[in-house]
Chains A and B, each alone.
Chain A
Amino acid sequence: MTGRPAGRPLVPAYLSTGGVARPSRPHMERLTVLALTGEPLRQGPPQGSPEGLPAAGLALLEALEGGSLAVVEAAALLRLPVSAVRVLAADLEDRRLVLARPPIPPAGRFDPDLLKRVADGLRALKHD
C-alpha cells in the first residue's frame, strides 16, 4: 500500500546506538530528578559564599527548597542552559548537598507494564 519497500532492519537504530547517534551518555539527563539531601551548608571562607559555591549553585539549592525538580525544570526556572545545570548539579551531588535520581534507562522504556500505565493514565485524564 505504501510506496516504501517492506522489510525493516532487525536491529533498529535506538538499540544499536543506545538511543542516540553519539557515543557518550550525558552525565545528567534532562529528566534526572534533583532533590536536597538536607545536609546543612558549611560556612565558606570569610566574606565568601557558603561552601564557596557560585551564585548559580546557591540559586539551584534555593529552587530545590520547594521540592524536587527535574534537571530541565531547574534549568527553566533558573534561566540557565541545561548543560550548565548538569554541571552545577553534579558539583552539588559531589558535595552531598543534592541527590540525583536518574530516569528509567533507555532499555526499560519499552516495558509493556510502563507503557500500559502511560496509556491508562492518559485515558483517565480524558474524562476530567
Chain B
Amino acid sequence: MASAPSSTTSAPSGTTGAPGEKDRVHLPDTARDLVKILVAGPFGVGKTTLIGSVSEIRPLHTEEHLSEASAEVDDLAGVRDKTTTTVAIDFGRVSLPGGVVLYLFGTPGQERFRALWDDIAYGALGALVLVDSRRIDASFDVLGLVEESGLPYAVALNEFPDAPRHHGVERLRRALDLEADTPMVTCDARDANSSIDALLALVDHLLTRDPVEAR
C-alpha cells in the first residue's frame, strides 16, 4: 500500500526558515482563499525554474494522462491499466499574509495539451506567459491557447545569456502580436524577486485593466 512520505507530517504552521520547511506540504491553518496562476510557455523556457524560485514548498508534480483530461475517470483500475501518454505538470505554492494561498502551475503550451490546459486553467486568475527572446516563435502556440481560454495574461521575457540584445520592446510586442495594454517585463526566472516582479506585473494588470472586462 502506498503511504504519504513521513517527512510531510507534523510541524506547526507559521515558522519560517526551519530545515525541511520546503518538504512540509500540508496547508497552514491560516490558508483560506486558494487561487492559481498559470506559468505557461514552451519547452525549456524556465517554467519550473520560476515556480521553484517563488514556491515555499519544493515544487511537486502530477502525472497527467493526456487522453483523459476531458473525461471524468470513474474506474481507478482503468486509470492504472491504460497506457496513455503522460505529462508531468509542476506546481508550487506561496502562502501570502491575509490567508491567500497562491498556486503556480507550470503549463506546457503545445496545442495537443489543450484539454489538460482547459482543466488547469479553470478558475485561474490569469497566466504569466514566459517567452525566450532567442526563439519567440516557440511561444506562439501558448499565446494562442491563453487567448482562446480568455485568461488575462502578462508576458515575461526570460533573458538567457546569449539572447539578442537589440530586439527593442516595440518590435517584440509586434512580433508577439500583443494588445497595447498587455504587460511585458523582462525576468530572470532563477531570481525570486525578479520572478515575483513578473507575477506582480500580471496581478497589477488584473487590478487595473478595463473594468468592463473584469466584470
Stretch at the interface among B69-77, B133-141, B154-162: B69-77
A30 smallest CB distance to B (angstroms):
7
Bitwise, B57-76 to A at CB < 8 A (1) or not (0) is: 00011111100111011101
Query: How many residue pairs between the two chains, A and B, have CB atoms under 8 Å in the bound complex?
Result: 216
B188 within 8 A of A: no
The answer to whether B5 touches A77 (Cβ under 8 A) is yes
**Chain B residues positioned under 8 Å from A81 (CB to CB):** 62-65, 68, 73, 79
Expressed in whole angstroms, the Cα–Cα distance for A67 and B79 within the complex equals: 27
Residues 89 to 138 of chain B near chain A (Cβ within 8 Å): 91, 93-94, 96-100, 102-103, 105, 115, 118-125
Residues 57 to 97 of chain A near chain B (Cβ within 8 Å): 58-59, 62-63, 65-70, 72-73, 75-84, 86-88
B interface, over-half SS: mixed
The answer to whether B200 touches A22 (Cβ under 8 A) is no
B179 within 8 A of A: yes
- A-side interface residues, number (CB < 8 Å): 71
Given A17-B150, A29-B122, CB of A68 within 8 Å of CB of B97: no
**Chain A residues positioned under 8 Å from B98 (CB to CB):** 117, 120-121
**Chain B residues positioned under 8 Å from A63 (CB to CB):** 3-4, 8
A13 smallest CB distance to B (angstroms):
3
A27 smallest CB distance to B (angstroms):
7
- B-side interface residues, number (CB < 8 Å): 77
The answer to whether B10 touches A117 (Cβ under 8 A) is no
The answer to whether A103 touches B123 (Cβ under 8 A) is yes
The answer to whether A83 touches B122 (Cβ under 8 A) is no
A98 within 8 A of B: no
10 example contacts (A-B, Cβ-Cβ < 8 A) are as follows: A10-B212, A15-B150, A21-B149, A30-B105, A70-B34, A77-B25, A78-B4, A83-B65, A109-B124, A125-B94
Instruction: Give the B-binding residues of A (Cβ under 8 A).
Output: 1-4, 8, 10, 12-17, 19-22, 25-27, 29-31, 33, 54-56, 58-59, 62-63, 65-70, 72-73, 75-84, 86-88, 103-106, 109-110, 112, 114-126
